[in-house]
Copies of this chain bind each other. A is one copy, B any other.
């Protein structure tokens, strides 16, 4: 009775291909997912000219799915995994362990970075002291800066991240309603390097939904950190993602529509209109910055003061 709509085997169909409205087995879902990732990578020329590729892997379902899918789809491409231990109790150590196991299993080079050890504070320190509403934003700044710095200092020319459609649409939605055109112009599948110390970034999962990443992780039996980050609960980011799902109930395919509209209709205009910022080197760390001191160094000294005074 319950056959996979694709391969017609008797294997229990567990996954719904939403756009095709088909129930498929885990093997067929994995193939569908990998094909879609491959198409995205090729469509945007993500791996064109890449010499040394790094993957930013947190241990969550998205980045684990990214690593696994790339191994499957482009078996000849070598990459290194960079993992940041953010020092969040009952969470970060589990993340690191999962990533370490994966790298061992597939013989992938791993670069580990311990935030508390090298920078003197953890994301938890901030989240615990300041409003939890802002912690995701702070964590984003820290991760973006460190990923780029580590990749740059280790000679990588491209970083792949696991940002998926839900992540990008949550960001786009906020930037559009606030008219943040200087930031909108930077939201794209491939961000070229604009400075010798800024590493090119690619987002191979930009067209995959949260749910598709999850289904893929399950269908490939991946190990990933199953608990949510304990700091994310009640964050604006989570509420916005929920809101976007509500909008999608009313406007089918809203997420993909917003991405497509951004890339095809607004981005060409934004790229013509918004002048690229003049970058200098941060007085503290030497990395590229718009201001005298970069946002990471400003944030770090603020958090360090908070930690000392607490």
Interface residues of A (CB under 8 A from B): 176-181, 239-240, 243, 246-247, 250-251, 254, 257-258, 260-262, 264-266, 269-270, 272-273
When C-beta atoms are compared, the residue in chain B nearest to A176 turns out to be B176
Contact in complex: A178, B261 (CB < 8 Å): yes
Contact in complex: B243, A247 (CB < 8 Å): yes
When C-beta atoms are compared, the residue in chain B nearest to A266 turns out to be B179
Contact in complex: B257, A177 (CB < 8 Å): yes
Contact in complex: A179, B243 (CB < 8 Å): no
Contact in complex: B273, A177 (CB < 8 Å): no
Contact in complex: B239, A243 (CB < 8 Å): no
When C-beta atoms are compared, the residue in chain B nearest to A240 turns out to be B250
When C-beta atoms are compared, the residue in chain B nearest to A261 turns out to be B179
A272 surroundings in chain B (CB, below 8 A): 273
Contact in complex: A177, B254 (CB < 8 Å): yes
With beta carbons under 8 angstroms apart, the residue of B239, B243, B269 that contacts A181 is B269
With beta carbons under 8 angstroms apart, the residue of B179, B264, B270 that contacts A264 is B179
A-B contacts, 6 of them at CB < 8 A, read: A177-B257, A179-B264, A181-B265, A243-B251, A269-B273, A273-B273
Cα separation A95 to B151 with both chains bound (whole Å): 68
With beta carbons under 8 angstroms apart, the residue of B178, B258, B269, B270 that contacts A177 is B258
Report A125 CB to chain B, min CB distance, Å.
29
8 closest residue pairs by CB, A with B: A179-B265, A179-B261, A269-B273, A243-B250, A177-B257, A177-B258, A181-B265, A177-B261
Contact in complex: A250, B239 (CB < 8 Å): yes
Cα separation A262 to B178 with both chains bound (whole Å): 9
When C-beta atoms are compared, the residue in chain B nearest to A267 turns out to be B179
Cα separation A272 to B243 with both chains bound (whole Å): 33
Cα separation A77 to B266 with both chains bound (whole Å): 42
A247 surroundings in chain B (CB, below 8 A): 243, 247
Cα separation A250 to B258 with both chains bound (whole Å): 19
A240 surroundings in chain B (CB, below 8 A): 250
When C-beta atoms are compared, the residue in chain B nearest to A274 turns out to be B269
A270 surroundings in chain B (CB, below 8 A): 269
A269 surroundings in chain B (CB, below 8 A): 181, 269-270, 273
A179 surroundings in chain B (CB, below 8 A): 260-262, 264-266
Cα separation A270 to B265 with both chains bound (whole Å): 11
Report A30 CB to chain B, min CB distance, Å.
32
Cα separation A246 to B178 with both chains bound (whole Å): 18
Cα separation A179 to B130 with both chains bound (whole Å): 38
Q: Given A179-B266, A273-B273, 12 other A-B contacts at CB below 8 A?
A: A176-B176, A176-B261, A177-B257, A177-B258, A178-B257, A178-B265, A180-B265, A181-B269, A243-B247, A247-B247, A269-B270, A269-B273
